[in-house]
Amino acid sequence: MNTPALSLRHNHFLNGSSALVSGIRLPRSSSSPFRVRMSLQENGPSVAVVGVTGAVGQEFLSVLSDRNFPYRSLKLLASKRSAGKSMKFEERDYTVEELTEDSFDGIDIALFSAGGSISKKFGPLAAQKGTIVVDNSSAFRMDENVPLVIPEVNPEAMAHVKLGSGKGALIANPNCSTIICLMAVTPLHRRAKVKRMVVSTYQAASGAGAAAMEELVQQTREVLEGKEPTCNIFNQQYAFNLFSHNAPVQPNGYNEEEMKLVKETRKIWSDKDVKVTATCIRVPVMRAHAESVNLQFENPLDENTARDILKNAPGIVVVDDRASNRFPTPLEVSNKDDVAVGRVRRDVSQDGDYGLDIFVCGDQIRKGAALNAIQIAEMLL
């Protein structure tokens, strides 16, 4: 798989036996020398994770570790209910602290995933104290003064934000379905300019949080055992079923999730005229979203050229084997960083090479949330 373009690695290698030196972990590898985990560095930024006990908060920690993100200190923040819990990260013990107005003193970067109301209250407070906030909620996405960033797509949107300048800032992480879609579509848009995009999403339980994932497992057991399913999160049976996305429906008939795709695409591409329509569906899959995307271009783009463009795009892997009928699946991209694209074909309803259909899958918790946020943080280093 391709490595995302904006990866920052801090890997070093030693010969010798496995050891713990100055708090640095040296894991043993049977096939390679020893890798030193260099994440804890005196010259790294101070980092806070807000909402650390949630699904995305936990994934923040996983991605920070996987990518050896350098930090000099780490603060784990959550609600009063979770305060006092003990967590181990990179072989160190941490105590979860209650999120308060004083939590951001001395914090350089704060990764937020605690819901819109928490972000609206504490995000600006943190920024006022000089913290750069990367927020995973919808609270600031459509604020014209807040950059909405996918690092592989529009890194220039946050070029004015500088770590160490003493000035705090808010940076918004786009919605998961928008990230996964635009990772695949933007390279094609750059070549042929998208005029109109029709998206149908098949969204996993993880998009509704850890409790929804747990309920899907519970319901599956209950239905298989002939019991009535427990319906606390979605108020209807989720196991062995699918339904229109549970976001509130707007007066225009679109739900909030669908309008996020419309509005966020226009902002990220800086193109208020691009036509976007979406239908978002919740499916009984654990943690990766799938999307069917139909594209209409201003300029011709044939399917072979499109496939080559995607093969060379950062953060994309092409899975498009017609002979064996093998294409992207949510299961195969779960816990992976790359977005998978397949079913690349000319839209036969349009004349010439002005239309394409593609099928996209991406891990909602990783590239759809935590990985994208940490790639944003990496660009600040």
Q: Contact 255/249 with Cβ under 8 angstroms? A: yes
All structural domains of the chain: 44-173+368-378 (3.40.50.720), 175-361 (3.30.360.10)
Residues tagged active-site: 176, 289
pTM as predicted = 0.88
C-alpha–C-alpha distance, residues 309 and 169, integer Å: 34
DSSP state of 321: B
The enclosing H or E element of 166 equals none
Tell how strand 275-282 and strand 243-244 pair up. antiparallel
Number of Cβ atoms within 10 Å of the Cβ of 160: 10
* β pairing state of 92-95 and 86-89: antiparallel
Each residue's pLDDT expressed in tens, for the chain with a length of 381 residues: 443 333 332 332 222 322 222 232 323 333 333 344 557 888 899 999 999 999 999 999 999 999 999 999 999 999 999 999 999 999 999 999 999 999 999 999 999 999 999 999 999 999 999 999 999 999 999 999 999 999 999 999 999 999 999 999 999 999 999 999 999 999 999 999 999 999 999 999 999 988 999 999 999 999 999 999 999 999 999 999 999 999 999 999 999 999 999 999 999 999 999 999 999 999 999 999 999 999 999 999 999 999 999 999 999 999 999 999 999 999 999 999 999 999 999 999 999 999 999 999 999 999 999 999 999 999 999
56-73 burial, b at 16+ Cβ within 10 Å, e below that, comes to: bbbbbbbbbeebbbbbee
Pull the structure tokens for residue 105.
Answer: 């003193």
Q: Which residues contact 308 (CB under 8 A, 6 or more apart)?
A: none
Residues in the chain: 381
Helices (H), 114-271: 116-128, 176-192, 210-224, 256-269
CB 134 within 8 A of CB 108: no
